[in-house]
Chains A and B, each alone.
Chain A
């Protein structure tokens, strides 16, 4: 209970700090939203002229894109603070997190980026619109499955962010690596991965689990499951992958944290 109160106080402080520059806050929110939707704008313009990408119609692509955007937005809202870790470690500022009465990871997560709210608005809007237009399975089971899949997607992307934050204790600067992984998720995650063919699809399913964020769950509820590299019984378990990835990342974080050296003091 006490922990929760401290967390809320820290989140409120972070929000107040950002709201000091109100114009900037709103601007970044809008930029976050527009930036996330630009990729969809490309697919929309493309499919205004051509009917389908790899057998997926515009409405189905919109659903896939919205699903992945929502999971990504939740990732940056909840885990956005992780991208500060490499800089705070590099500068020796991580000291401050260690002397507070909360787990360092929790303190890191209380910082949040204004642009992440824009991501969230964009994700909700596109997902809501696409759900009406696309032929989505709307049985109670499918709805629960999709809700869990969104959380699972958040934990997959969040787990990767946690890995790169944890590696900062050893490697100091890891933001370039994070940016690279984030780029892979953002560029490939919104597309029906079957268009990349065998090797790449397998790579993005089993090595870097991009497929589990949105492509596999979307395929299941849109009736595309038979095209997948992993067949239905496994595909139904997609939401669990998030738990596995995040659990492993958390163990790594705990293992790496003691390696922190307060540099520059």
Chain B
């Protein structure tokens, strides 16, 4: 236990430094996100076609929502877990497995480090983001608090899903295609392209049965004060439920994966 905290901190710092070193890479990602935010702003302005409000949502609120949703699905995305299949393919995972720290704590530490650095850089680029999309403060202090809790839970959820996806590389070495599809499914059902308010009914039912709405739609509904009182607590309940379920699943998958380890190129 005495080793645990320093080891975690060390790994986290390593990954944070990686992000801060490859700032050009971050810049390219940022450009991609800005382009997406800009495209969404133009398309949504065109479909609103001059109406001040649709279903009680003004165009200004919607664009602020979409801007934050696209930042959020980006900076909470567990990129550190994304590169893990490469380590399985190259055999480098052997190094990870002989460390005195379990693989799951290692992945968690790396993700936290990376997210910390990305959050710093995203924070620094907020002025440009505001220029391309639009930003707006939370509806109230209470909304801000609820949003923070929901976003921390959302981070845990995406980390659990990411770890499960990464662990599938113990079964199949070809995971890059699935990753691409996951990105789209996650973004779409998170409500980062269309908020769930505007989903067709049957699609909204599907979205509410999936864990992805916890990534952007629920936290931002709290942020903008669209969910209050009992509804807000219900949203937090949904987040807690998915957090618990997906972490149990991730641990089960890990216990099975460890028995299938083959080290390549040894």
Residues of A at the B interface (CB closer than 8 Å) are 24, 27-28, 31, 34-35, 38, 41-42, 45-50, 52-54, 176, 183, 187-188, 191, 195-196
Contact = CB atoms under 8 A, between A and B. Distances in A.
A45 B42 contact: no
Interface in B46-84: 46-49, 54
B32 A183 contact: yes
Given A31-B181, A34-B181, A183-B35, A45 B199 contact: yes
A212 B218 CA distance: 41
A-B pairs with lowest CB-CB distance, top 3: A50-B47, A31-B177, A195-B46
Interface residues of B, number: 26
Interface string B97-124: 0000000000000000000000000000
7 contacts: A31-B181, A38-B181, A49-B198, A50-B54, A54-B46, A187-B35, A195-B43
Contacts of A50: 47-48, 54, 198
B28 A176 contact: yes
A210 B188 CA distance: 26
Contacts of A53: 43, 46-47
Nearest to A197: B42
B30 interface: no
A46 B49 CA distance: 13
A191 B43 contact: yes
Contact of A46 (B42, B47, B174, B181): B47
A176 B29 CA distance: 12
Nearest to A54: B46
A164 to B, nearest CB: 16
B232 to A, nearest CB: 25
A223 to B, nearest CB: 19
Contact of B49 (A28, A42, A52, A183): A52
Contacts of B188: 38, 41-42, 45
Given A27-B174, A45-B194, A45-B199, A35 B184 contact: yes
Nearest to A192: B46
Contacts of A35: 180-181, 184
Contacts of A196: 42
Contacts of B249: none
Interface string B184-214: 1000100001100011100100000000000
Nearest to A194: B46
Contacts, number: 58
Contacts of B14: none
A165 to B, nearest CB: 21
A52 B181 contact: no
A49 B203 CA distance: 12
B200 A49 contact: yes
A54 B181 CA distance: 29
* Most A Cβ at <10 Å: residue of B28, B35, B36, B177: B177
A89 to B, nearest CB: 22
A45 B184 contact: no
Contact of A42 (B46, B54, B193): B193
B222 to A, nearest CB: 23
Contacts of B47: 46-47, 50, 52-53
Nearest to A195: B46
Contacts of B45: 195
Given A35-B180, A54-B46, A195-B42, A48 B200 contact: yes
Given A31-B180, A31-B181, A52-B47, A42 B194 contact: yes
Given A24-B174, A183-B32, A45 B200 contact: yes
A46 B47 CA distance: 9
B126 interface: no
B149 interface: no
B152 interface: no
B7 to A, nearest CB: 35
Contacts of B178: 31
B39 interface: yes
A85 B18 CA distance: 29
Contacts of B32: 183
B98 to A, nearest CB: 31
A38 B203 CA distance: 15
Contacts of B35: 183, 187
